[in-house]
Amino acid sequence: MERRLTVGSLIKNKQRMEIAEFPSTMQSVIKIKQNNRPFQLLPISNELLLDIALKQEIPLDYKCRKGTCGRCAVEVLEGQNLLYRRTKRELEKSQNVNMRLACQARIK
């Protein structure tokens, strides 16, 4: 193979640096539990927890999607800081700050 000379290649003691591409290890994850089954979600900004779970094929139990039945209630184990504050409906359903309604909890 023929080597091409460039201005940079003529500089003495210059070493080529290879920059490896590494997958981001800082990807945020929301860990939740519903009916004693743990799940992990990759957050999507301004989306509802329930919609993200369904897009990521996580089988959350839900029904009304309005925050009235409470069937989509999940316990947030990790990533609470990635969610907006609890809605009025969520406050009515539970006083536990880790319990969220997946149909009401929105990602920041």
Residue 2, domain member (yes or no): no
Residue 16, domain member (yes or no): no
The number of folded domains in the chain is 1
Residue 11, domain member (yes or no): no
Residue 92, domain member (yes or no): yes
Tokens of 71: 């069937």
Q: What is the pLDDT of residues 52-95, one digit of tens each?
A: 999 999 999 999 999 999 999 999 999 999 999 999 999 999 99
Residue 83, domain member (yes or no): yes
CATH number at residue 77: 3.10.20
Q: What is the pLDDT of residues 2-38, one digit of tens each?
A: 667 666 666 666 665 555 554 544 579 999 999 999 9
Closest by CA position to 101, among listed 50, 45, 56, 42: 50
Q: At residue 1, does pLDDT exceed 90?
A: no
Residue 52, domain member (yes or no): yes
Domain enclosing residue 49, as ranges? 24-101
pTM of the model: 0.74
